[in-house]
């Protein structure tokens, strides 16, 4: 549709006006195409930092939920740059206000119970509250930032490296070094730390201990715990079922069967030329191939699937 493709916002507004003149909005309906168009205009103006126009269209949007993603993204990007922090806080707080309203008044949706919707809205709220706390931190409002970030950290139980980093950073700013150190230790042991947190851990270690003596073995023990935890988590998720037997042709036309590889460790990777994530994984998979290329008990099978090219050679 012309409206969706148009990037010139003046023309986009003209399209909207033409549409509502031709198709008046049914105000008894909660969700309408006309409101979606207003939502698109508001988001587009916000992305271009045209705040007067954004507020003009935002005030006309009925379903505010569609605004929160753009509000959060614009606010977070401003905060990362350290620019217009007052505006960033205003936009971020608006996203939280919308999510709070949705949590308290979940609307009816097919195939979703009110409790399911509330849980989804809480997840979104936590993500945006992390942004708001980050902005407050940037404004040197450390205690207020902590009031939001601590709740997010507790709710997510430390499974987000970004949330963990923000929480530890705020604690450090408040002089709570021991607590910040404990947060980072837990993050490292569970595999949810960042490079910045690892560096901060050494700084905190020296500040608390008085020197870096013993840091390396201490840090290695934390990383080892992370590796053990990762293996345990992977073991729980592994499917303990026999693989179906198959025979496919390799690029030289030779038949390769799974049965012929019995007793070996076989890594099967399904991929396609049109699959971006598949291709992004290739460098990592190549590292694995290189590591085990001389091991006769490890075999890699890369299976190209769901191809549509007319020259595709079926296996």
Which of 186, 203, 233 corresponds to the end of one domain?
A: 233
| Same-domain check for residues 89 and 187 | yes
Residue 241 lies in a domain: no
Check whether residue 200 and residue 264 sit in a common domain: no
Among residues 233, 267, 294, which one ends one of the domains? 233
| Rounded distance between C-alpha atoms, residue 16 and residue 6, angstroms | 11
Residue 163 backbone class (left: φ over 0; alpha: ψ -120 to 50; beta: rest):
alpha
Cα three-residue angle 236-241-247, rounded to 5 degrees: 130
Residues 6 and 47 in one domain: yes
Q: What is the CA 230 to chain-centroid distance, rounded?
A: 20
Q: Which of 210, 233, 256 is the last residue of a domain?
A: 233
Does residue 313 form part of some domain?
no
CATH of the domain at 284: 3.40.30.10
Same domain, 158 and 201: yes
Whether the full predicted model's pTM is greater than 0.85, yes or no, is: no
Give the phi and the psi of residue 18 in degrees, each rounded to 5: -60, -40
Does 178 lie in the same domain as 282? no
Report which of 84, 177, 167 is spatially closest to residue 126, judged by C-alpha positions: 167
Q: What is the pLDDT along the chain (315 residues), one digit of tens a residue?
A: 678 888 899 999 999 999 999 999 998 888 899 999 999 999 999 999 999 999 999 999 999 999 999 999 999 999 999 999 999 999 999 999 999 999 998 887 777 788 888 999 999 999 999 999 999 999 999 999 999 999 999 999 888 999 999 999 999 999 999 999 999 999 999 989 999 999 999 999 999 999 999 999 999 999 998 888 888 888 888 777 888 888 988 888 889 999 999 999 999 999 988 888 888 899 999 999 999 999 999 999 999 887 766 666 665
Q: Which domain holds residue 180?
A: 2-233
Distance from C-alpha of 167 to C-alpha of 180, rounded to nearest angstrom: 8
Q: State whether 295 and 228 are in the same domain.
A: no
For residue 192, give the nearest of 171, 168, 162, 220 by alpha carbon: 162
């Amino acid at each position: 549709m012309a409206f969706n493709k148009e990037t010139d916002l003046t023309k986009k507004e003209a399209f909207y006006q033409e549409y509502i003149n031709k198709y008046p909005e049914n105000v008894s309906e909660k969700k309408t195409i006309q409101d979606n168009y207003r939502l698109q205009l508001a988001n587009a103006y916000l992305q271009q930092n045209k705040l007067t126009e954004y507020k003009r269209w935002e005030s006309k949007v009925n379903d505010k939920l569609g605004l929160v993603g753009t509000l959060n993204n614009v606010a977070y990007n401003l905060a990362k740059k350290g620019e217009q922090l007052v505006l960033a806080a205003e936009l971020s707080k608006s996203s939280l206000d919308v999510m709070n309203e949705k949590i308290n008044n979940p609307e009816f949706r097919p195939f979703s119970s009110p409790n399911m919707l509330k849980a989804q809205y809480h997840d979104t709220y936590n993500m945006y509250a992390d942004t708001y706390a980050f902005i407050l931190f940037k404004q040197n409002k450390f205690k207020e930032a902590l009031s939001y970030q601590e709740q997010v950290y507790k709710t997510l139980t430390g499974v987000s490296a970004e949330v963990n980093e923000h929480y530890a950073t705020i604690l450090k700013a408040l002089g709570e070094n021991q607590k910040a150190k404990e947060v980072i230790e837990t993050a490292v042991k569970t595999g949810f730390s960042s490079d910045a947190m690892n560096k901060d851990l050494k700084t905190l270690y020296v500040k608390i201990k008085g020197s870096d003596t013993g840091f390396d073995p201490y840090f290695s023990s934390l990383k080892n715990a992370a590796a053990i935890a990762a293996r345990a988590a992977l073991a729980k998720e592994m499917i303990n079922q026999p693989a179906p037997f198959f025979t496919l042709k390799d690029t030289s036309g030779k038949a390769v069967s799974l049965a012929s590889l019995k007793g070996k460790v076989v890594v099967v990777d399904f991929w396609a030329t049109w699959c971006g994530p598949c291709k992004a994984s290739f460098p990592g998979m190549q590292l694995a191939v290189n590591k085990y290329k001389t091991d006769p008990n490890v075999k890699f099978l890369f299976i190209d699937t769901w191809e549509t090219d007319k020259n595709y050679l079926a296996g």
